[in-house]
């Protein structure tokens, strides 16, 4: 056999051997262990922040929101979804609508924290009720919130207790004319009513002082409310169509038989009738009655206290400060039955005592 032919045969044989080796069945590899990873159920659930100490001002609330945004997006700090959620929660409790929306978005999309659409529905609703446009569509998509509001929307623990009775002013003494032994000031009286608000027209002050007692209302409380509502402008109209001195919306005007809401006398009488009804409903608790006047009694019932709206919280605080810290008011139980919230609060007080 020629040399070239022998070489070709040897080469062909080697190819066959090589191909046969690869034709053998390969061993079945053992399955690789699953890689560790986070499931939606395994995402952390931030704890509710502890109560704040001291008075919380709007600037502090804004700082919490900005801090939360930094942690959420890693702006100048390392990303930390849990810290972001806790800071959003702090701001949300004090009525920051953007913080309420942002926390709800994190909960809806499981952005580093556990998904909780039930809680998100409450947060979107609160932000939408404050007029935050982007929250309205989300609130509609998630539907009516179910159950009690989450901790991030409940009144802060450091808020003054509801149903608290006003404490008497510290005892004072009267110095008799011409000297002599001081005599004690009569009784443990509250601080005297404040004078009419600055800029209050005398004719409105006289009307309120004359008519408010007919509605079992203290004139200084009514005047402080008018100051906050309209600053004594009888032609004031709000973006929500609240009108006149006491800013009555059309439904409230009809409810209390106000035919011409822009007539100052009718407007004042309708507003005083509404305030009297609220005081009976909340058994004289001015904090709840004022919050309901601003945000509606339904919101006060739903949130178990002052709603988490920045405007309402500031509104209540300003009026209470203007009336020297007074937090209760006489009421007529025949005007309206107590709300379910009052029954709940009384039960809690009994349990504590």
- How crowded is residue 11: how many other Cβ atoms within 10 Å of its Cβ? 9
| CA atoms of 134 and 62, how far apart (whole Å) | 19
Q: Which value, in Å, is the radius of gyration of the alpha carbons in the chain?
A: 34
| CA atoms of 68 and 102, how far apart (whole Å) | 9
Measure CA 133 to chain center: 17
| CA atoms of 42 and 64, how far apart (whole Å) | 26
Catalytic residue chosen out of the listed positions 229, 283, 297, 301: 229
| Helix, strand, coil abundance in the chain, percent, nearest 5 | 50, 5, 45
Q: CB–CB of 87/50 below 8 Å? A: no
Q: Which residues face 328 on adjacent strands?
A: 285
Query: Which of 244, 251, 250, 252 minimizes the C-alpha distance to 275?
Result: 252
Q: Which residues face 184 on adjacent strands?
A: 173
Q: CB–CB of 332/276 below 8 Å? A: yes
Give the helix ranges, DSSP H, for the chain. 3-23, 58-73, 81-93, 97-109, 117-129, 133-142, 202-211, 219-230, 250-255, 264-281, 286-295, 297-303, 310-322, 340-352
- Catalytic site residue 229? yes
Question: What does the block give as tokens for 336?
Answer: 């309206």
| CA atoms of 61 and 41, how far apart (whole Å) | 31
Q: What does each C-alpha distance from 273 to 223, 269, 318, 328 come to in angstroms?
A: 14, 6, 22, 17
Measure CA 82 to chain center: 21
Q: What does each C-alpha distance from 242 to 11, 212, 223 come to in angstroms?
A: 100, 21, 18
Residues acting as catalytic residues? 229
């Amino acid at each position: 056999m020629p040399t070239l032919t022998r070489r070709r045969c040897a080469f062909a044989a080697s190819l066959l051997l090589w191909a046969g080796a690869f034709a053998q069945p390969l061993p079945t590899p053992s399955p690789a262990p699953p890689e560790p990873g986070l499931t939606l159920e395994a995402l952390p659930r931030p704890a509710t922040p502890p109560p704040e100490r001291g008075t919380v001002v709007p600037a502090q609330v804004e700082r919490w929101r900005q801090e939360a945004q930094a942690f959420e997006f890693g702006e100048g700090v390392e990303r930390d979804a849990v810290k972001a959620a806790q800071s959003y929660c702090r701001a949300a409790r004090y009525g920051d609508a953007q913080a309420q929306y942002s926390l709800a978005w994190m909960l809806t999309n499981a952005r580093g924290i556990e998904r909780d659409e039930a809680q998100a529905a409450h947060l979107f609703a609160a932000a939408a009720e404050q007029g935050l446009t982007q929250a309205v569509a989300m609130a509609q998509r998630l539907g009516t919130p179910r159950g009690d509001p989450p901790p991030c929307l409940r009144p802060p623990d450091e808020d003054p207790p509801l149903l608290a009775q006003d404490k008497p002013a510290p005892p004072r003494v009267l110095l008799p004319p011409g000297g002599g032994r001081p005599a004690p000031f009569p009784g443990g009286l509250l601080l005297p009513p404040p004078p009419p608000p600055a800029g209050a027209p005398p004719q409105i002050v006289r009307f309120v002082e004359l008519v408010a007692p007919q509605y079992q209302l203290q004139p200084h409380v009514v005047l402080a409310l008018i100051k906050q509502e309209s600053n004594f402008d009888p032609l004031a109209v709000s973006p929500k169509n609240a009108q006149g001195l006491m800013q009555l919306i059309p439904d409230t005007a009809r409810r209390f038989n106000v035919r011409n809401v822009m007539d100052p006398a009718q407007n004042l009488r309708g507003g005083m009738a509404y305030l009297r009804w609220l005081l009976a409903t909340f058994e004289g608790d001015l904090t709840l009655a004022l919050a309901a006047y601003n945000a509606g009694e339904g919101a006060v019932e739903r949130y178990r206290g002052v709603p988490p709206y920045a405007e309402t919280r500031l509104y209540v605080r300003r009026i209470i400060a203007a009336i020297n810290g007074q937090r209760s008011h006489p009421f007529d139980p025949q005007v309206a039955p107590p709300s379910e919230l009052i029954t709940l609060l009384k039960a809690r007080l009994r349990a504590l005592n």
